[in-house]
Amino acid sequence: MSFAFGIGIGTQNNKGEWLEVFYQLPVITPDNGLIEVARNVLGYQGGNQAIAVKPEQLKSLADGLRQIGQMEQSTLAAKAADSKRPVVVTLLDTDDTASSTPEVYLKLHLISSRQARPHELKLDGIFGLLPNLAWTNEGAVDLNELPDRQLKARIEGRTLEVKSVDKFPQMTDYVVPKGVRIADTARVRLGAYVGEGTTVMHEGFINFNAGTEGKSMIEGRISAGVMIGEGSDLGGGCSTMGTLSGGGNIIISVGENCLIGANAGIGIPLGDRCKVEAGLYITAGTKVALLDENNELVEVVKARDLASKTDLLFRRNSQTGAVECKSHKTAIELNEELHANN
Ligand SMILES: CC(C)(COP(=O)(O)OP(=O)(O)OC[C@H]1O[C@@H](n2cnc3c(N)ncnc32)[C@H](O)[C@@H]1OP(=O)(O)O)[C@@H](O)C(=O)NCCC(=O)NCCS
């Protein structure tokens, strides 16, 4: 069984290097028949390959795919034969470290189309394969070619709008998953996994390889690698710590039905039904006074000892300044939970 397949329409720079690729119908674990047709028509020999294809090849591909009943892919191949932009067929035998830009784009599409979940795919080394580009109203432009394109547009009486300069494009120019609301589309990168029922408000942000399981109100930032559980809300401007730059190596996640208050932040994973007071940033090393159901001090612990535990409320005592964690559990239950692995 092969790992992934996609017919993509992309952009190349003046040197013929791939800048980006749009896959309308990316597929994870494609049918053997589909791979067989690619083998016959494109001379695909197996392994992970991104094959630049010509219109005649696409027509033959469309015929072959139609014969095996792959009607959607067949229609796509037939339409792509008329493309003014270069077309690539990407065939990945295994989920190995990517070796080309079209491969990386296929993997990012698989996540955003919810065919693969964050952390499921091998994404090491992708930064080196994603060129930093100008994302314009006329598509992706190589930064070295931008001044000429800007001038050309002006001379022709147009303005080339540069919407962003980044390695990742916004997700919605490639994939709009079902059942989501995204107020400011620039704030969700391709490679984000946005669960059905999620609303991302203007302050919300979702990085690649990160996202939400389902119904959520996202008004804060979901860093790369972070996953937010069903029914959890991120308050305005809050932060979930990533692992990419100085955030440590704990992978942050948020359980179900949690609330992270406005301007708060977490550097530990949260279990289900936890709340973090507005404005409080809990880092892994934060010393926390753990209080039982009667507000009695059980123990002072580091926040990392409370990682993934359920039903906790974190707050900064407004009179003493100490960070407190309140639980509905008894002191005995909390002690048992904390020292279970001692
Ligand atoms: C932390 C938080 C969840 C607590 O809310 P709550 O559970 O409803 O608690 P309450 O405000 O009713 O307070 C309960 C008691 O704790 C006290 N208390 C609350 N926060 C406190 C603090 N930081 N320090 C000391 N005491 C505090 C209250 O004064 C109250 O005392 P009382 O029992 O004597 O009346 C809430 O303050 C919060 O920050 N919510 C986040 C909301 C948010 O940001 N949403 C996103 C919007 S974009």
Spatial contact of 61 and 150, defined as CB atoms under 8 Å apart: no
**Which stretches of the chain are DSSP H helices?**
32-42, 55-67, 71-80, 101-112, 146-155, 331-338
Both 254 and 282 in one domain: the answer is yes
Residues 220 and 319 in one domain: yes
Total domain count, the chain:
3
Q: Looking at the structure, do residues 50 and 158 belong to the same domain, yes or no?
A: no
Residues 318 and 211 in one domain: yes
Distance (angstroms) between ligand 1 centre and the Cα of 210 equals: 29
Ligand 1: residue whose CA is nearest its atom 3:
277
Residue 171 forms part of a structural domain: no
Which of ligand 1's atoms lies nearest the C-alpha of 236?
Answer: 48
Claim to verify: residue 225 and residue 289 sit in the same structural domain: yes
Ligand 1 mean position to 235 CA, how many Å?
14
Cβ contacts of 171 within 8 Å, gap of 6 or more: 112, 185, 188, 189, 190, 191, 192, 194, 206
Please tell me whether 98 is known to bind a ligand: no
The CATH number that applies at residue 10 is: 3.30.70.2010
Specify if 176 maps to a domain.
Answer: no
Percent of the chain with pLDDT over 70: 97
Clarify whether residues 115 and 14 are in a common domain: yes
pLDDT in tens, 129-150: 999 999 999 999 999 999 999 9
pLDDT of amino acid 250: 77
Task: Please give the Cα distance from 72 to 95 (Å, whole number).
Answer: 24
What rounded mean pLDDT belongs to the chain? 96
What pLDDT does residue 19 have?
98
- Residue 247 — very low, low, confident or very high, per pLDDT cuts 50/70/90? low
Would you place residue 251 in the very low, low, confident or very high pLDDT band (cuts 50, 70, 90)?
confident
Host domain of residue 93:
4-130
Q: Is residue 173 part of a domain?
A: no
> Are residue 284 and residue 202 in the same domain, yes or no?
yes
**Residues carrying an active site annotation:** 219
41-68 average pLDDT score: 96
* One domain, residues 313 and 190: yes
- Tell which residue, 104, 252, 261, has the closest CA to residue 190: 104
Residue 295 maps to a domain: yes
The pLDDT of residue 242 is above 80: no
Check pLDDT > 70 for residue 264.
yes
Residue type, 327: S
**pLDDT band at residue 244, thresholds of 50, 70 and 90?**
low
The CATH number of the domain holding residue 271 is 2.160.10.10
> Which pLDDT belongs to residue 248?
62
Is there a single domain that holds both residue 66 and residue 93? yes
Residue 304 lies in a domain: yes
Residue 138 sits in a domain of what CATH number? 3.30.60.70
- How far, in Å, is the centroid of ligand 1 from the Cα of 320? 15
Residues 78, 147 share a domain = no
Cβ–ligand 1 contact at 236 (below 6 Å): yes
245: confidence class by pLDDT, cuts 50, 70, 90: low
Do residues 166 and 132 touch, judged by C-beta distance below 8 A?
A: yes
Domain contains 172: no
- Least confident interval from 8-12, 84-88, 251-255: 251-255
The CB of 275 under 6 Å from ligand 1? The reply is yes
Q: 12 and 36, same structural domain?
A: yes
Task: Indicate whether 316 pLDDT > 90.
Answer: yes
Pocket test for ligand 1, best of 275, 291, 312 (most atoms within 8 A of CB): 275
Q: Output the pLDDT for position 51.
A: 97
In a domain, 82, yes or no: yes
- Is residue 175 assigned to a domain? no
Whether 148 and 70 share a structural domain: no
